[in-house]
Structure 1
Amino acid sequence: MSSEKNILVLNCGSSSLKFAVINSTTAETVISGLAERLGSNKATIAIKYNGEKQVVKLTENNQHLGAIEYLVSDLHTKNLSNSLTAVGHRVVHGGEVFTSSVIVTEHVINEIIRTSGLAPLHNPANLVGIQAAQKSFPTLPQVVVFDTAFHQTMPQHAYMYAIDRDLYTGKGLRRYGFHGTSHYFVSQEAAKHLKQSPAETSVITVHLGNGCSICAIENGQSVDTSMGLTPAEGLVMGTRSGDVDPGLIIYLMNQFNYSGQQIDDLLNKQSGLLGLSKMSNDCRTLEEAVFGDDKKLKEQAKLALDVFCYRVAKYIASYTVALSHLDAIVFTGGIGENSDYIRAQVISQLSILNIKLAKDLNEKARFGAFGEIQAPDSQFKVLVIPTNEEWVIAQDAARLSESK
Structure 2
Amino acid sequence: MTLKPGSQASLRAANIRRVLAAVRSRGVLSQAEIARVTGLSPASVSNIVRHLGEAGTVDVSPGVRGGRRAQEVRIRSEQGLVLGLDFGHRHIRVALADLRYTVLAERKRACNVGASGSDALDVAQSLVAEVLEEVGGTHRDVRAAGVGLPAPLPVDGRLASWPILPGWDSIDPRGDLGERLGVDVYADNDANLGARGELVFGAGRGIANLAYVKAATGLGAGLVVDGRIYHGYAGSAGEIGHLTIDETGPICSCGNRGCLETLVGGPFLLELIRHSHPHLRTVEDLVQAAVDGDGGCRRVLADAARHIGFVAANLCNVVNPERVVVGGDLAAAGEVLLEPLRAAMPRYAVISVAETPVVAAETGDRAEVLGALVLAAEQVDLLGEQAEERWDGVGTPAPTAVAQAGSALRQREDARWG
TM-score range normalised by the length of the shorter chain: 0.5 to 0.7
2:272 aligned residue (265, 273, 276): 276
Q: Which residue pairs with 1:317 in the alignment?
A: 313
- Please state how far the C-alpha of 1:180 moved relative to its aligned partner: 1.9
- Mapped to 1, the partners of 2:229 and 2:298 lie a distance apart of 33
- Please state how far the C-alpha of 1:309 moved relative to its aligned partner: 0.9
Q: Report the CA distance shift for 1:244/1:69 in structure 2 as closer, same or farther (over 3 A).
A: same
- Mapped to 2, the partners of 1:203 and 1:274 lie a distance apart of 30
TM-score normalised per structure 1: 0.53
Q: Which residue pairs with 1:331 in the alignment?
A: 326
Q: Which residue pairs with 1:381 in the alignment?
A: 357
Q: Report the CA distance shift for 1:218/1:3 in structure 2 as closer, same or farther (over 3 A).
A: closer
Q: Report the CA distance shift for 1:34/1:122 in structure 2 as closer, same or farther (over 3 A).
A: farther
- Please state how far the C-alpha of 1:230 moved relative to its aligned partner: 9.9
Q: Report the CA distance shift for 1:190/1:133 in structure 2 as closer, same or farther (over 3 A).
A: closer
CA contact (8 A) 2:121 2:177 kept: no
Match of 2:165, SS state, is: coil
- Mapped to 2, the partners of 1:180 and 1:122 lie a distance apart of 22
2:124 matches 1:84: no
Q: Report the CA distance shift for 1:326/1:12 in structure 2 as closer, same or farther (over 3 A).
A: closer
CA contact (8 A) 1:21 1:29 kept: yes
- Mapped to 1, the partners of 2:247 and 2:382 lie a distance apart of 41
- Please state how far the C-alpha of 1:334 moved relative to its aligned partner: 4.5
Q: Which residue pairs with 2:289 in the alignment?
A: 289
Q: Which residue pairs with 1:35 in the alignment?
A: 109
Q: Which residue pairs with 1:72 in the alignment?
A: 129
Which structure has more RCO (C-alpha within 8 Å, separation ≥ 6)? 2
* Count of residues paired in the alignment: 287
- Please state how far the C-alpha of 1:389 moved relative to its aligned partner: 0.9
2:12 matches 1:16: no
- Please state how far the C-alpha of 1:116 moved relative to its aligned partner: 4.5
CA contact (8 A) 1:204 1:215 kept: yes
Q: Report the CA distance shift for 1:339/1:193 in structure 2 as closer, same or farther (over 3 A).
A: same
Q: Report the CA distance shift for 1:7/1:291 in structure 2 as closer, same or farther (over 3 A).
A: closer
Q: Report the CA distance shift for 1:402/1:309 in structure 2 as closer, same or farther (over 3 A).
A: farther
- Please state how far the C-alpha of 1:12 moved relative to its aligned partner: 1.3
- Mapped to 2, the partners of 1:206 and 1:65 lie a distance apart of 29
Q: Report the CA distance shift for 1:398/1:333 in structure 2 as closer, same or farther (over 3 A).
A: farther
Match of 1:117, SS state, is: coil
- Mapped to 1, the partners of 2:382 and 2:163 lie a distance apart of 26
2:373 matches 1:391: yes
CA contact (8 A) 2:324 2:356 kept: yes
CA-to-partner distance for each residue in 1:103-139, whole Å, 9 max, x for gaps? xxxxx6xx43xx253542695798679746633x3xx
- Mapped to 2, the partners of 1:292 and 1:67 lie a distance apart of 34
Matches within 5 A, 1:200-239: 202-214=209-221, 217-220=224-227, 234-235=240-241
- Mapped to 2, the partners of 1:193 and 1:291 lie a distance apart of 27
- Mapped to 1, the partners of 2:324 and 2:318 lie a distance apart of 14
- Please state how far the C-alpha of 1:288 moved relative to its aligned partner: 3.4
* Residue type of the alignment partner of 2:212: T
CA contact (8 A) 1:89 1:143 kept: yes
* Residue type of the alignment partner of 1:329: V
Query: Mind listing any 5+ residue stretches in structure 1 that lack a counterpart?
Result: 41-61, 99-107, 148-177, 236-240, 253-257, 355-377
CA contact (8 A) 1:185 1:389 kept: yes
Q: Report the CA distance shift for 1:381/1:28 in structure 2 as closer, same or farther (over 3 A).
A: same
* Residue type of the alignment partner of 1:332: G
Query: Mind listing any 5+ residue stretches in structure 2 that lack a counterpart?
Result: 1-75, 114-118, 386-418
CA-to-partner distance for each residue in 1:221-243, whole Å, 9 max, x for gaps? 66799xx9699x634xxxxx874
Matches within 5 A, 1:2-401: 2-24=77-99, 26-36=100-110, 38-39=111-112, 65-66=122-123, 68-73=125-130, 75-76=132-133, 78-81=135-138, 82-91=140-149, 93=151, 96=154, 98=156, 111-112=158-159, 115-117=160-162, 119-120=164-165, 131=176, 134-135=179-180, 137=181, 140-147=182-189, 179-186=191-198, 193=205, 198=208, 202-214=209-221, 217-220=224-227, 234-235=240-241, 243=244, 245=246, 271-278=267-274, 282-290=282-290, 299=296, 301-323=297-319, 327-336=322-331, 339-350=334-345, 379-384=355-360, 385-386=362-363, 387=367, 388-399=370-381
- Mapped to 2, the partners of 1:15 and 1:310 lie a distance apart of 26
- Please state how far the C-alpha of 1:23 moved relative to its aligned partner: 1.5
* Residue type of the alignment partner of 2:185: V
- Please state how far the C-alpha of 1:321 moved relative to its aligned partner: 1.8
CA-to-partner distance for each residue in 1:259-300, whole Å, 9 max, x for gaps? x8xx9xx9699943233333667432113334679x8xx63x
The structure with the largest alpha-carbon Rg is 2
* Residue type of the alignment partner of 2:188: F
Identity value in percent: 12
- Mapped to 2, the partners of 1:69 and 1:310 lie a distance apart of 41
Match of 2:83, SS state, is: strand
- Please state how far the C-alpha of 1:67 moved relative to its aligned partner: 5.8
CA contact (8 A) 1:10 1:18 kept: yes
